[in-house]
């Protein structure tokens, strides 16, 4: 068994691997970019090595720097985590050449599963069911059309070199096939430099069900049951659970055995995942095999009681599988959600910034688990995936697990940037989710419920945000008075006292975003509390604000709890499972802000211009795309905020633009 393990990754997975490695008595080596020098995974490891500048291509993807770090620290094994180099066969080979143990499958197995068509051919030979289709080398359009006619419509045309849903086109009828084929080939050629395609029968309401397999180097292989990952958005998983709801045990067994056959067909060793499409009639078909530990592996750990990273490390050291198939069983139900710094209200635009407040639900070691790579005060940067944490819950059955998930999300508090907690809560609370009415178009089907139009901040939230301000001000002024040489000065009072006038005040709060609504909350001071003058009438309010932001309120005779966080003029209120972000309008400060605003069309983050749809002088409609940026592996269309005229296109295709740069001169009409 090796004694020192280098984790060639960052964030939550690096922390997670380090946690198990340390429990097993291994010395751990973290690698980090300049930007991650103060990151949690670095603090958790026994040793750490800087491997380069922030961009992943200059650090976490630099094989030479990682191998140098291993040599420098005496690491004998490398765990790649997921993403980055985890499915890079050349990296696995380079580790072997350097005499290092690669905690993963043989490079040959990575290569075998790397290409979609080759993988399907191998699976077909192993007797693993494939979607009825054609994935041959002959790409003659007439032959492809004949194959599509044979398969039966609708058919799906997929780029052979593709993945993650890119380059897929549906031909609903024979008449559409030629155009859809040409479109798929064009997209495949431009995205992957390879225009070969395969044709499959199109499953209209499939579920994404994947089997966790584990093989050791002694020829044994088991499956650790399935995960349902149907709730996805743009091929990014959002919710994963184990076991798959309403999974027929006979189908589970057949799917598990098929997955084991797939692994054995390629001489697999280590943790692997075989992804299937499960059709409504119970048929299942091989989709792809992932030759790494997956993000969602914790749900499998929670229902089997196994530590899959421990399994990986023991197997990488030549050990036998810790358990046989007959020793494995499903206990209860687990669900995982991925907490992201993204704004669902803005097309899930990735968010960057500092986590000014971060509170997770209490972990009890059985029902709630949080895998995170960040702490309060850490920044979410543009360089890496904006994941904040994974929240995993377990309970005795699915309904109990869903209730546990709702509560855990309600106790999750993230301030300093927009996150997707509210979106995840909407999924967890949705009747279709509780009913396990799942398929890969779940989010699309329930879009109106999951991404409702932005609602104005409710009045009680405004009242609590205001109360927090007043209590915070009282505390600050009391502290100042205690520290001053005139503690009883009237300037130290914070009860709104005015000469010859009733003690009253008005606090103005603005909702986030350009042109966010402003709310003036009028109040009067009454004997140690306040009377708020709200739209729905006056209400007596009093409360206490804890140093940790806990706000205990008595309003209209009802006592309630919330969390109130202030950072500069930004107020974040967490109440009843919802997050309200408000900006304190301080009269003096707001005048200065106006001068700089002017509603310019600026880059939401650094990126590269990949399309310009208009020219100088163009007259455009509200919402018309003007310029498209590529940033964080996503495309961001900058659209006309209203009808108007484009006065100046300031960047051309191919140019890099810094965060905040004005992209387009625009005059509204």
Q: Which of 351, 340, 386 is nearest to 513 (CA)?
A: 351
Token pair of 465 as six digits: 């945000």
Instruction: State the nearest-atom distance from the C-beta of 156 to ligand MV4, in Å.
Output: 4
Which DSSP string corresponds to 471-498?
HHHHHHHHHHHHHSS-TT-GGG--S--B
Distance CA 306, CA 296 (A): 14
- Measured CA distances, 241 to 74, 337, 422, 563 (Å): 38, 9, 19, 30
- Measured CA distances, 529 to 238, 505, 555 (Å): 44, 13, 10
Q: Strand ranges (DSSP E) for 234-332?
A: 236-242, 270-278, 284-290
By beta-carbon proximity to ligand MV4, the closer residue of 477 and 634 is 634
Instruction: State the nearest-atom distance from the C-beta of 148 to ligand MV4, in Å.
Output: 12
By beta-carbon proximity to ligand MV4, the closer residue of 42 and 131 is 131
By beta-carbon proximity to ligand MV4, the closer residue of 162 and 604 is 162
Query: Which one from 252, 292, 566, 575 is the annotated catalytic residue?
Result: 292
- Nearest-5° Cα angle at 663, 662 to 669: 90
Pairing of strands 537-545, 550-555: antiparallel
Instruction: State the nearest-atom distance from the C-beta of 301 to ligand MV4, in Å.
Output: 22
Instruction: State the nearest-atom distance from the C-beta of 135 to ligand MV4, in Å.
Output: 11
Residue with tokens 């765990």: 79
Instruction: State the nearest-atom distance from the C-beta of 90 to ligand MV4, in Å.
Output: 24
By beta-carbon proximity to ligand MV4, the closer residue of 161 and 415 is 161
Instruction: State the nearest-atom distance from the C-beta of 206 to ligand MV4, in Å.
Output: 5
Look up residue 645 and give its DSSP letter: E
By beta-carbon proximity to ligand MV4, the closer residue of 49 and 255 is 255
Q: Which residues bind ligand MV4 (CB under 6 A)?
A: 131, 156, 164-165, 200-203, 206, 208, 232, 235, 277, 287-288, 440
Distance CA 342, CA 615 (A): 31
By beta-carbon proximity to ligand MV4, the closer residue of 59 and 291 is 291
Instruction: State the nearest-atom distance from the C-beta of 440 to ligand MV4, in Å.
Output: 4
Q: Strand ranges (DSSP E) for 443-600?
A: 504-510, 518-526, 529-534, 537-545, 550-555, 558-567, 570-575, 578-584
Is the backbone of residue 556 left (phi > 0), alpha (psi -120 to 50) or beta? Answer: left
Residue 637, number of CB atoms within 10 A of its CB: 14
Is the backbone of residue 109 left (phi > 0), alpha (psi -120 to 50) or beta? Answer: alpha
Is residue 77 within 8 A of residue 3, CB to CB? The reply is no
Whether 292 is catalytic is yes
By beta-carbon proximity to ligand MV4, the closer residue of 282 and 546 is 282
Which residues have a catalytic role annotated? 292
């Amino acid at each position: 068994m090796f004694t020192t393990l280098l984790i060639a990754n960052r964030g939550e997975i690096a922390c997670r691997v380090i946690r198990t490695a340390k429990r097993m008595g291994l010395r751990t080596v973290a690698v980090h970019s300049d930007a991650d020098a103060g990151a949690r995974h670095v603090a958790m490891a026994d040793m750490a090595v800087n491997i380069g500048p922030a961009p992943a291509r200059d650090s976490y993807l630099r094989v030479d720097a990682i191998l140098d770090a291993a040599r420098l620290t005496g690491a004998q094994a490398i765990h790649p985590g997921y993403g980055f180099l985890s499915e890079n066969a050349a990296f696995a080979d380079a580790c072997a050449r350097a005499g290092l143990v690669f905690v993963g499958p043989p490079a040959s197995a990575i290569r075998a599963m790397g290409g979609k068509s080759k993988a399907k051919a191998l699976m077909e030979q192993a007797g693993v069911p494939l979607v009825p289709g054609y994935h041959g080398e002959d790409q003659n359009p007439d032959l492809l059309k004949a194959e599509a006619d044979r398969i039966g419509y609708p058919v799906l045309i997929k780029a052979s070199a593709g993945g993650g849903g890119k380059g897929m086109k549906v031909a609903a009828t024979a008449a559409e096939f030629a155009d859809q084929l040409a479109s798929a080939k064009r997209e495949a050629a431009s995205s992957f430099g390879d225009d070969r395609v395969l044709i499959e029968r199109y499953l209209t309401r499939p579920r994404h069900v994947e089997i966790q397999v584990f093989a050791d180097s002694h020829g044994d292989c088991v499956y650790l049951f399935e995960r349902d990952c149907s709730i996805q958005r743009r091929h990014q998983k959002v919710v994963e659970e184990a076991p798959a709801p309403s999974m027929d045990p006979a189908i589970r067994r057949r799917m598990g055995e098929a997955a084991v056959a797939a692994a054995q067909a390629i001489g697999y060793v280590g943790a692997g995942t075989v992804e299937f499409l499960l059709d409504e009639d119970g048929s299942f078909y091989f989709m792809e095999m992932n030759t790494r530990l997956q993000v969602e592996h914790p749900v499998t750990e929670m229902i089997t009681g196994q530590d899959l990273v421990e399994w990986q490390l023991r197997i990488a050291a030549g050990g036998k599988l810790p358990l046989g198939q007959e020793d494995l069983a499903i206990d209860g139900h687990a669900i995982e959600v991925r907490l992201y710094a993204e704004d669902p209200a803005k097309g899930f635009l990735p968010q960057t910034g500092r986590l000014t407040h971060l509170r997770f639900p209490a972990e009890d070691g059985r029902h709630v688990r949080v895998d995170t790579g960040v702490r309060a005060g850490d920044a979410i940067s543009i360089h890496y995936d904006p994941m904040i944490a994974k929240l995993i819950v377990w309970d005795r059955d699915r309904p109990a697990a869903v209730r546990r998930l709702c509560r855990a999300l309600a106790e999750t508090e993230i301030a300093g940037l927009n996150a997707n907690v509210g979106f995840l809560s909407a999924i967890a609370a949705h009747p279709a989710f509780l009913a396990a009415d799942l398929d890969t178009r779940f989010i699309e089907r329930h879009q109106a419920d999951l991404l409702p139009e932005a609602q104005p901040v409710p009045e009680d939230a405004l009242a609590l945000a205001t109360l927090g301000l007043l209590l915070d001000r009282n505390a600050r002024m009391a502290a100042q008075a205690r520290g001053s040489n005139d503690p009883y000065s009237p300037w130290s009072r914070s009860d709104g006292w005015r000469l010859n006038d009733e003690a009253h005040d008005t606090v103005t709060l603005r909702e986030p975003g350009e042109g966010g609504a402003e709310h003036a909350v009028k109040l009067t001071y009454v004997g140690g509390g306040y009377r708020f003058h709200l739209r729905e009438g006056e209400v007596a309010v009093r409360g206490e604000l804890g140093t940790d932001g806990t706000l205990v309120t008595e309003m209209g005779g009802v006592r309630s709890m919330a969390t109130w966080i202030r950072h500069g003029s930004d107020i974040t209120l967490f109440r009843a499972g919802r997050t309200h972000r408000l900006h304190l309008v301080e009269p003096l400060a707001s005048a200065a802000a106006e001068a700089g605003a002017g509603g310019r069309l600026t880059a939401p983050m650094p990126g590269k211009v990949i399309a310009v749809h208009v020219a100088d002088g163009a007259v455009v409609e509200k919402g018309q795309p003007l310029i498209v940026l590529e940033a964080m592996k996503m495309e961001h269309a900058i659209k006309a905020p209203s009808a108007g005229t484009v006065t100046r296109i300031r960047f051309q295709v191919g140019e890099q633009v810094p965060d905040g740069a004005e992209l387009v001169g625009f005059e509204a009409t």
